[in-house]
Amino acid sequence: MSGIVKSRTPGGRALTVLKYVLLTLGAIVMVLPFLDMFLGALRTPAERLASPPIYWPRDPQWINFVRVFTELPMLRWTFNSIVVTTTITALQLLTSAMAGYALAKFRFAGANKALQFVIGAQMFPFFILIIPTFFILRYFPLAGGNDITGTGGSGFLNTYTALILPFSVTWYGVFLMRQFMMSVPGELLDAARIDGAGEARIFFTIALPLVMPGFVTLGIFVFLYHWNEVLWTMTVTRTAPDLQTIPVGIYLLRGAFVEETTKSLQQAAVAVSVFPVMILFLALQRFYVRGLTAGGVKG
Amino acid sequence: MNKLTTSKLRVAVSALALTAAATSSVFAQDTKTITIATHYNDEQIAPITACFEAYEAEHPGIDIVHQQASYGDFLQTILTSRVGGTSPDIYNIYSIWAPQLAAAGALEVPPQEVLDFVNANYADGSVGAATIDGQLWGIPTELSVYMLTYNKKLLAEAGYDAPPATWDELLEIAAAISKRNDQGNLTQAGYVYGTTVANATHPFYSQMYSEGVSPFNEDYSATNFTSPEAVAILEGQRALFEQGITGPEMTTDDFPSGTVGMYIAANWLKSTYQDAFGDEFEETVGIAPIPSSRDDWGTMLYSFLWAVDSTSDVKAESWELLQWLNTPQDGLSCTGQMLNGMGALSGNIADLGMMDVDDEFSQAYVEAIESGAAQTQPNVPQAAEIDRVLRSYIEQVWAGNFSAADALAEADAEIQAILDDAAM
Amino acid sequence: MIKWLGSSKATPFWFLAPVIAFGIIFFILPLGFALFTSFTRWDSLQPPRWVGLDNYLYLLTSDRRFFPTLFNTLYFAAGTLAIGVPLSLGIAFAFTQSRFQSLWRSLYWLPMVTNVVAVAYIWIFVLAPTHGLLNRLLAMAGLPGPGWLTDPSIAMLSVILVFVWMQLGSNMLLFSAGLNNIDESYYEAARLDGAGTWQVFSTITIPLLRPTVMFVLITNLISGMSYFTLMLVLTEGGPLGRTTVTALYMYEMAFADLRLGRASAVAYILFALVFVLTLIQLRFFRQGGVDAH
């Protein structure tokens, strides 16, 4: 990929320089705010109260990163984040792959309509579903003390289910997996059927392995999205501190960090919420890119 | 079909939702759990937490759980839990939220025993704050009063040895304290406001009382925001911004950092100041009446109260626990210990008598209550929404977009609609 | 029926069953429920009362806040497109032709993997007026230091810039994928014809990239019109309500004031707007796709 710029001409050389200047400037803007947060997490209360406040910590408070775990419910939040995000990811992958497989590899009445529905549903922004979904979970029959009419208890609210169930399917994922499943050769599936393999077995042992790159990419995408999800989790865990995830917990605890002297701990908590997922993602980056370049992006 | 019953709606929802009915197992419970929601953080509520443990030890079969939410989120948390059917059993609520919660049927009427207990042991001001249309809704707790809080050292540095008595004096002193850096941003502010709704509305109400005008009329059917006094107050606030004495870059949160000259604040911040200034607390923090153009002055008093949720399945146990928490035993009651730790005042007469209020700081507030200068904040309906609307117009004036008269006329119109709507 | 369930005709429906159940319970039902609610006055503590079109009429005729929030929404969506798209296109362009791609990618993706609460609490400190990093840097250069999040006239711009910062990585990714998909032979042919860099860019790259640009525009427009979490956490809709977008207005109306009927009406009006804008864009998209070939 040599692209359109020829660096042999003087104009080309200027462009090459410009290109790297642009990339470097952009990269600084990307990274600097994180550095600012990191330094903030290390400041002492005295450094914060000094006039003017001291920017470079002279006595770095590494202990703040420990305090995040001892003085804040960070462990609880982390546990919740892991439970909720892995369950959602597993559910979305399974439902997307299954539905995508059905839409790509079977002919049935309404197949076209179903595909259009999946595409159309992606156009509906989440904000329109927030209010009704809250009440559907609340009045869900036979859940959380509710009777058959959906009354008497609190439904799925104040349970992990409230955080997970409304995200058990992703229309985008269904569509994406359908695109990947299109590339699975029908002959392979038919051959397995002739050999007497059951449909579930065909799906899991033949179709799924063939779309692994897309499957993994979708998995990373979904995991990342829901690890960082704030709006819905905040809405249903406001009254259930035991179920709050890392970002929601940090947000709803903001009232404890209004005084200048407490802000180092807040910034340390923010850092703790950011760095592990960064490292994980950078490690998995390769798989993510591979799946995207395999044809997912253009849809 | 003009009216739908909730149950019909629920049936409609459930009929469609049945397809994926999931069952949840309900275990028989041996112990009764009482959930208590407050806006106090773990550190503040520590004395009560110790009491919970003592109570649990004395009453086997009772399990007490504390649920905390930031003050700014607290009403929303209560409402959400109420809406979601996940209400705690006991709330510690701000008195002005009581009308909205009571109107929605969220609050349980206290049993006669509790009513008698409150009437016998609490000061009139705090009982009034917990009463709506003649009905008392719970046990008063924190009693807070707004006063002018000032940094003695900054005033002295600027050459003033006494706090201002009028708004004009306040402007003059504050102007002498404010400092800006090369970029024009404040590094030290003579006067500040804060970012929350209450940070704007409470000082405004306090100033109205100081000018002798109540924010609302007698039966809460209209506001007094268009009165000449209210307009003059807001014009005075606007001058602070116009003259560059204050600005959004510095807030009430900066006072403990020692970079703020004055602001109107409540007494519960005492422990915050003590933490921030340490040994220097008495020499640094001064308390004065709300500036007024009259010879007399006044201010606003508000209260929190313990209330029980109407859907709780442990109501009797909850009231019993509350009465125990609020009864002084050997010394301060459990609630009293917590309030004392924060530097807040109590509506409980016996508790108040035993609190550490002999210092100059607390005495100023106690005197404001005892002299009758502090008047109870009115329990208007939809108070939280009204306050938010008012704040939005006050901000417009601060920003110089509206004159005080125009903004208050607009605010009055919008709030009138809310009051009319609530009366429907 | 039972026989049918076991037949090969039923197989695709077995695979679709979870998605169908979800579609009914968490998509169709809520949409219908919200529509019904929008015609009622309901605080969820007392039974809903049918009020017909009152909520819609109130919003469109007497509510003083509703239209300003729509303006803010459009400002935000347009602003993120106007600033974010050219910027990410430029970066993507430089990126696809540079060395050390995985390094650049890693750096540009950092904000993308960061949760929005962290993004807000990082930038609150960077943008703090008196002692924030940005104004400190500006002061060193002898420049003024505005109140990025407190000055009503620039607060929304600041929110837009933070959002662009958040999104730059993913848009760059889409654009660079689009650029990589352009066949090398086009460039070679153009070069043999003696075309200069700019000519190649304007006559080959831009037209061939048009489908990707349109895709990014549409997805960013829908998400921009619907987005409010950053405003909720970063500015809480202030100052002076200048960063209160319509979706945020709806959320607070519903969960802070329990005006669930009116809030549902807000949701439907906003959705109608998003829907219409999307259709218009889709039409352009189709044309653009055709033109490109």
Instruction: Pick B104's closest partner by Cβ from C21, C45, C49.
Output: C45
Q: What is the pLDDT of residue C285?
A: 65
- The mean pLDDT value for C8-34 works out to 91
Could you give the percent of chain A with pLDDT greater than 70? 93
Q: Is the peptide bond before A73 cis (omega within 30 degrees of 0)?
A: no
Q: What is the pLDDT of residue C262?
A: 95
What is the pLDDT confidence band of residue C253, given thresholds at 50, 70 and 90? Answer: very high
- Residues of chain C neighbouring B195 (CB-CB closer than 8 A): 238
Instruction: Pick C239's closest partner by Cβ from B20, B187, B395.
Output: B395
Q: What is the pLDDT of residue C22?
A: 95
B20 with C64: Cβ contact below 8 A: no
C49 with B4: Cβ contact below 8 A: yes
- The mean pLDDT value for C251-268 works out to 92
Instruction: Pick A30's closest partner by Cβ from C108, C126, C250.
Output: C108
Chain B residue at shortest CA distance from A149: B11
- pLDDT, tens digit (0-9, with 9 covering 90-100), for B352-400: 888 888 888 989 998 888 888 888 888 888 888 899 999 999 999 999 9
* Sign of torsion over alpha carbons B247, B241, B150, B96: negative
Give the whole-angstrom CA distance, residue C55 versus residue C263: 9
Instruction: Pick C104's closest partner by Cβ from A27, A127, A228.
Output: A27
A251 with C233: Cβ contact below 8 A: yes
Q: What predicted TM-score, i.e. pTM, was given to this entire model?
A: 0.87
Chain B residue at shortest CA distance from A153: B85
What is the pLDDT confidence band of residue A72, given thresholds at 50, 70 and 90? Answer: very high
* A119 part of a folded domain: yes
Q: Which of B1, B78, B199, B249 to mutate to test the interface with C (most CBs of C within 10 A)?
A: B249
Q: What is the pLDDT of residue A2?
A: 44
Q: Which of A236-245, B80-89, C64-73 has the lowest mean pLDDT?
A: B80-89
Q: Residue B38 forms beta bridges with which residues?
A: B68
Pairing of strands B260-266, B32-38: unpaired
Q: Is the peptide bond before B110 cis (omega within 30 degrees of 0)?
A: no
3-state secondary structure of B163: coil
Q: Please tell me the distance in Å from B41's CA to the nearest CA on chain C.
A: 21
- pLDDT, tens digit (0-9, with 9 covering 90-100), for C76-119: 999 999 999 999 988 998 888 888 888 898 899 899 899 999 99
Per-residue pLDDT at C290 exceeds 50: no
- Residues of chain B neighbouring C150 (CB-CB closer than 8 A): 247-249
Does B162 reach chain C within 8 Å, measured CB to CB?
no
- The mean pLDDT value for C255-277 works out to 92
Chain A residue at shortest CA distance from C101: A23
Does B7 reach chain A within 8 Å, measured CB to CB?
yes
Q: Please tell me the distance in Å from A296's CA to the nearest CA on chain B.
A: 31
- Tell which B residues from 289 to 318 touch C, by Cβ distance under 8 Å: none
Token couple for A88: 């959602």
Chain C residue at shortest CA distance from B414: C64
A238 with B11: Cβ contact below 8 A: no
What is the pLDDT confidence band of residue A296, given thresholds at 50, 70 and 90? Answer: very low
- Residues of chain A neighbouring B72 (CB-CB closer than 8 A): 254-255
Q: How many residues appear in chain C?
A: 293
Does B3 reach chain C within 8 Å, measured CB to CB?
yes
Does B399 reach chain C within 8 Å, measured CB to CB?
yes
Q: Please tell me the distance in Å from A270's CA to the nearest CA on chain B.
A: 18
Q: Which residues of B93-108 are buried (b: 16+ CB within 10 A; e: fewer)?
A: bbbbbbbbbbbbebbb
3-state secondary structure of B132: strand
- What is the DSSP annotation of B244-303? TS--TTS-GGGGGGT-EEEEEEEGGGHHHHHHHHGGGHHHHEEEEPPP-SSSS--EEEEE
Chain C residue at shortest CA distance from A40: C125
Torsion of CA B162, B168, B171, B173, to 10 degrees: -20
Q: Which of A2, A21, A128, A237 to mutate to test the interface with C (most CBs of C within 10 A)?
A: A128
Q: Please tell me the distance in Å from C152's CA to the nearest CA on chain A.
A: 22
Q: What is the pLDDT of residue A225?
A: 92
* A25 part of a folded domain: no
Give the whole-angstrom CA distance, residue B291 versus residue B313: 49
Per-residue pLDDT at A30 exceeds 80: yes
Q: Which helix (H) or strand (E) holds B189?
A: strand B186-191
Work out the mean pLDDT of chain A and round it to a whole number. Answer: 87
More confident of the two residues C67 and A153: C67
B187 with A241: Cβ contact below 8 A: no
Q: Please tell me the distance in Å from B173's CA to the nearest CA on chain C.
A: 22
Does B11 reach chain C within 8 Å, measured CB to CB?
no
3-state secondary structure chain C: CHHHHHCHHHHHHHHHHHHHHHHHHHHHHHHHHHHHHCCEECCCCCCCEECCCHHHHHHHHHCCCHHHHHHHHHHHHHHHHHHHHHHHHHHHHHHHCCCCHHHHHHHHHCHHHCCHHHHHHHHHHHCCCCCCHHHHHHHHCCCCCCCCCCCCCCHHHHHHHHHHHHHHHHHHHHHHHHHHCCCHHHHHHHHHCCCCHHHHHHHHHHHHHHHHHHHHHHHHHHHHHHCCHHHHHHCCCCCCCCCCCHHHHHHHHHHCCCCHHHHHHHHHHHHHHHHHHHHHHHHHHHHHHHHCC
C150 with B248: Cβ contact below 8 A: yes
Q: Which helix (H) or strand (E) holds B383?
A: helix B383-398
Q: In total, how many domains does chain A have? A: 1
Does A141 reach chain C within 8 Å, measured CB to CB?
no
Q: Please tell me the distance in Å from B2's CA to the nearest CA on chain C.
A: 5
Q: What is the pLDDT of residue A9?
A: 63
Q: What is the pLDDT of residue C131?
A: 87
Q: Please tell me the distance in Å from B147's CA to the nearest CA on chain A.
A: 20
B104 with C46: Cβ contact below 8 A: yes
- pLDDT, tens digit (0-9, with 9 covering 90-100), for A186-237: 888 888 888 888 888 999 998 999 998 888 889 988 999 999 999 999 999 8
Pairing of strands B32-38, B62-68: parallel
Give the whole-angstrom CA distance, residue B147 versus residue B168: 17
* A278 part of a folded domain: no
Could you give the percent of chain C with pLDDT greater than 70? 96
Cα R_g (chain A), whole angstroms: 25
What is the pLDDT confidence band of residue A294, given thresholds at 50, 70 and 90? Answer: low
Give the whole-angstrom CA distance, residue A96 versus residue A94: 6
Per-residue pLDDT at A4 exceeds 60: no
Work out the mean pLDDT of chain C and round it to a whole number. Answer: 88
Torsion of CA B153, B154, B156, B157, to 10 degrees: 110
CATH number at residue A202: 1.10.3720.10
Please give the ipTM for the structure prediction.
0.89
Across the A:C interface, residue pairs with CB atoms under 8 Å apart total 254
Q: Please tell me the distance in Å from A113's CA to the nearest CA on chain B.
A: 22
Chain C residue at shortest CA distance from B386: C257
Q: What is the pLDDT of residue C231?
A: 95
- The mean pLDDT value for A135-151 works out to 83
Q: What is the pLDDT of residue B30?
A: 66
Which domains, ranges and CATH numbers included, belong to chain B?
32-144+302-370 (3.40.190.10), 145-300+378-423 (3.40.190.10)
* A187 part of a folded domain: yes
C271 with A246: Cβ contact below 8 A: no
Chain C residue at shortest CA distance from B402: C240
Q: Which of A114-118, C215-219, C245-249, C286-290 has the lowest mean pLDDT?
A: C286-290
More confident of the two residues C272 and B77: C272
Instruction: Pick B80's closest partner by Cβ from C50, C150, C255.
Output: C255
Q: What is the pLDDT of residue C187?
A: 78
- Residues of chain B neighbouring A52 (CB-CB closer than 8 A): 181, 187
Instruction: Pick A136's closest partner by Cβ from B17, B21, B68.
Output: B17
- Residues of chain C neighbouring A127 (CB-CB closer than 8 A): 226, 228, 247, 250-251, 267, 270-271
Residues of chain B with pLDDT under 70: 1-30
More confident of the two residues C9 and C121: C121
- Residues of chain A neighbouring C102 (CB-CB closer than 8 A): 285
3-state secondary structure of B308: strand
Chain B residue at shortest CA distance from C153: B399
What is the pLDDT confidence band of residue A11, given thresholds at 50, 70 and 90? Answer: low
* A15 part of a folded domain: no
Does A262 reach chain C within 8 Å, measured CB to CB?
no
- Ordered by start, the domain boundaries in chain C are 58-291
For residue B7, how far is the Cα from the chain centroid? 36
Per-residue pLDDT at A80 exceeds 50: yes
Range of the domain at A160: 73-252
* A155 part of a folded domain: yes
Q: Does domain C58-291 have CATH number 3.40.50.150?
A: no
What is the pLDDT confidence band of residue A100, given thresholds at 50, 70 and 90? Answer: very high
Per-residue pLDDT at A53 exceeds 80: yes
Across the B:C interface, residue pairs with CB atoms under 8 Å apart total 98
Neighbours of chain A (3+ CB pairs under 8 A): B, C
Per-residue pLDDT at A164 exceeds 80: yes
The angle, 0 to 180 degrees and rounded to 10, between the axes of the packed helices C155-180 and C101-109 is 150
- pLDDT, tens digit (0-9, with 9 covering 90-100), for C129-177: 888 999 999 989 888 889 899 999 999 999 999 999 999 988 888 888 8
Instruction: Pick C267's closest partner by Cβ from A131, A251, A293.
Output: A131
Across the A:B interface, residue pairs with CB atoms under 8 Å apart total 105
Q: Please return the burial class of B4, using the count of CB atoms within 10 Å of its CB with bins 0-12, 13-18 and 19+.
A: middle
Q: What is the pLDDT of residue B173?
A: 95
3-state secondary structure of B136: strand
Q: What is the pLDDT of residue C29?
A: 95
